[in-house]
Amino acid sequence: MNVVDEGRPDREELERQSLLRLRGVARAVEQYFVGRDEVLRILQVALIAREHVLLLGPPGTGKTELVTRFAQGMQLPVFTRLLTRFTEPAEVFGPVDVAKLRAGTYVVRTAGMLPEAPIAFLDEIFQGGSPILNTLLTVLNERVFHDGSESRPVPLVTLVGADNALPRDPSTAAFADRFLLRAEVAPVAGRHLEALVESRLGRGAQQGFLAGPAQPTGFPLRVEDLDRLHRRRLGVRLEKVVPGYTELVRELLDEGVRLSDRRIVRGMGLVASAATLREADEASPRDLWPLAHVWSDPDEAETVRRLVDQRVEQDGGNPMRTAPDAEVLVARARFLAGQVGPDSTDAAMERVLRGLNEIRLELLNGAPDVRHRAAEVRERIDRVMELWTVP
């Protein structure tokens, strides 16, 4: 560990610790879901970039559960609300202070409401009425909440919205454009039916789709961690990736993909955030992968992904996976091994063993500084095997 004279961790070590916490949350949540790796990567980039995310998909695909578990794993104050056409602004931003109103001052009591939350999740977001969406526009764009005659900053880092589809109403579509990142959350049963069923088999608190809160990672993510990662992202060098980025945007526009100037400019921040996520000081074409999620129209999503993935893969990157991190993989192995005991079902044992073997392979295929941790994972596999053979 690099340390300064007084024995405290230096800036680089603190940044590394913050990244480990963020990755640890994603890895812990990943154990509950099948085929949602990419959504979790998007959420990580959004937190680093301080951008907002829109999850689109039919009911029953786990959008709410995924974000809820991710928020629980972060152990940060999170505001969540299901919007309907009857939802009042006071249910989102807080009620009016009646006592002060009687004295002639309009003040909203925002304690515990969205204006005081670093992370927010709004389900069925496009069901909200105009008063809510109009206020959210200022919160999303400027991180400011208008409270009567006063305007005050809000600590919002990322707002995640979820709905079945993008709105067709032009006024609501303009609001939707404020969500730079989009992800289509499709059903996974067709591709991963067995894994989907087995992922819901277990014991105790882990049994069932909506079983208890996400397990703490042991490294609680703090607001200062997100601030630190955001500052690190601002220092990422982008000079070498700019020509490729410009060429990619031009290809997308030539293909008829609609990208507003806002999305084009802010896309560079996503590239810097992707580089930060892999602990790089300089961005490369493999860090273009978040651009696969900046489309405006779902009909254009496949075209965007195809052109982005071509550049990512040409640079040796894998658009679906990040490089393994030894600490995170070992923490994931500990988490998995802790989910089974002598009374676990065979299906649960098989699921955990399969997961532990996948982690072992990731470690063995990683860099030398990663491979040396495979021994600990093998030890945990042996322990699970011993449990399985208990008469």
| Percent above pLDDT 90 for the chain | 42
Burial string for 206-228 (b: 16+ CB within 10 Å, else e) reads beeeeeeebbebebebeeebbeb
The rounded mean pLDDT for the chain is 81
Q: What is d(CA 327, CA 331) in angstroms, rounded to the nearest whole number?
A: 6
User: 158-163 and 78-82: which strand pairing?
Assistant: unpaired
End-to-end CA gap in the chain? 46
Residues near 261 by Cβ (< 8 Å), separated by ≥ 6? none
pLDDT band at 324 (very low <50, low <70, confident <90, very high): low
Report domain extents, the chain: 37-196, 235-301, 326-388
pLDDT at 1 over 50: no
pLDDT of residue 89: 94
| CATH code, 37-196 | 3.40.50.300
Of 24-28, 88-92, 309-313, 314-318, where does the model show the most confidence?
A: 88-92
pLDDT of residue 204: 32
pLDDT of residue 52: 96
Average pLDDT over residues 223-243: 94
Tokens 């959008």 correspond to 63
Residue 339 DSSP one-character state: T
CB 272 within 8 A of CB 281: no
Of 70-74, 327-331, 370-374, 386-390, where does the model show the most confidence?
A: 70-74
Average pLDDT over residues 84-95: 94
Lowest mean pLDDT among 60-74, 90-104, 152-166, 233-247: 60-74
Lowest mean pLDDT among 60-74, 264-278, 297-311: 60-74
What would the pLDDT profile of 35-71 be if each residue is shown by its tens digit?
678 889 999 999 999 999 999 988 776 788 888 888 8
Tokens 């031009």 correspond to 250
pTM here is 0.75
161 φ/ψ angles, rounded to the nearest 5 degrees: -110, 145
Beta bridge mates, 163:
56
By CB neighbour count within 10 A (0-12 exposed, 13-18 middle, 19+ buried), where does 386 fall? Answer: exposed
